[in-house]
Amino acid sequence: MTMTVQSIGDQARAFALQSASSRIKTTMATLTAELASGEVADLGARLQGNTQDLAGIEARISMLAQFGRSAAEAASHARGMQDALTSIHSLTEDMGRGLFIEPGAVTEGLVVARSAQAASALQTVIGHLNGAVGQRFLFSGTNSDTQPLSSADAILSALTAEVAGLTTAAGVAAAVSDWFDAPPGMGGFVDLAYHGGPGGQPMPIGEGTTVSLSTTPLTPAVRDSLKGLATAAMVDRGALAGSGIEARALLQGAGKALLDNSPALAVEMSRVGYAQQVIETARTEGSAASATLQTARNQMREADPFATSAAISEAETKLQSLYSVIGRLSQLKLADYI
């Protein structure tokens, strides 16, 4: 009986040993990377080829991140509006109180000075209403890239022409009111002084949740604040000159109008405040949902650190054994077998 002996040459043996060493080193590098990152290298194998659930989770995480950015922008916008309305409410209430309770025996010079203060207050209020956050104007409605109001000087100049020749406080107040309340196309406030859009754009801030910040200078409470200050400023522009009684009556009437408008302005502030609450709730819910989804995603992708460490130790043992074999083979001599 003849026995066939299969053997390989030195070069083939060296190639086989080198290939085995390379495979073990590659395995160790992969396992080390998994241990460092905490994620499996072959995600397809981990999920047995079914990556649909993971893709859905990552899509929702991305969507929630977009909602989060939109909600953060809406929060900044609402905070800017609330700060502006708070300042306007405080200023107009103080101005209204001062104008309304002014003693009837004040001098004509003091009346003009008080009117000039109203003009300055109008300029301040318009500055607040022309405020912006980032590249968006707060009170421009849908035209958020356009400054909403003309300057106080432009508005008062237009009103000066409207009240020219009027000799009574009631007549001046009515002319100013008509100009502010004139519908589009009639050459009033809407046509000449307001450059924004109607209302605000709905902003998606969460799954199924949108918010619209629609306060503009066309909002009655805001427009009436401008109207009251502009009415009081007419004396400083020369209206009712030479008639101290009518001038004082105009200022007192403007002061009463500002005080009467104070509750409406407070209601508008509360509307913005409610929007702030909605935004904050959406941000909180979005953050919680995102955290839950990220946990689920990480569980799908995470590598078991204990199993990975054990696999690394096993690979190291194999590599050491291989090197031991290589070392012994390299020491073999033909003379030892003759």
| Domains of the chain and CATH, by start | 54-293 (1.20.1330.10)
CA distance 78 to 70: 12
Output the 3-class SS for 130-188. CCEECCEECCCCCCCCCCCECCHHHHHHHHHHHHCCCCCHHHHHHHHHHHHHCCCCCCC
> Residue 183: what pLDDT?
96
Residue 116 makes CB contacts below 8 A (sequence gap 6+) with 233, 236
CA distance 193 to 33: 64
Q: pTM of the prediction?
A: 0.78
Q: Is the dihedral of CA 305, 310, 313, 318 positive or negative?
A: negative
pLDDT tens string 45-62: 566 666 788 788 889 999
Q: Quick one: which of 39, 33, 214, 26 has its CA closest to 138?
A: 214
Question: Helix, strand or coil for residue 208?
Answer: coil
Neighbours of 320 (CB within 10 A): 11
Q: Which residues of the chain have pLDDT under 70?
A: 1-21, 24-25, 27-50, 103-105, 301-312, 315-316, 318-319, 321-323, 325-338
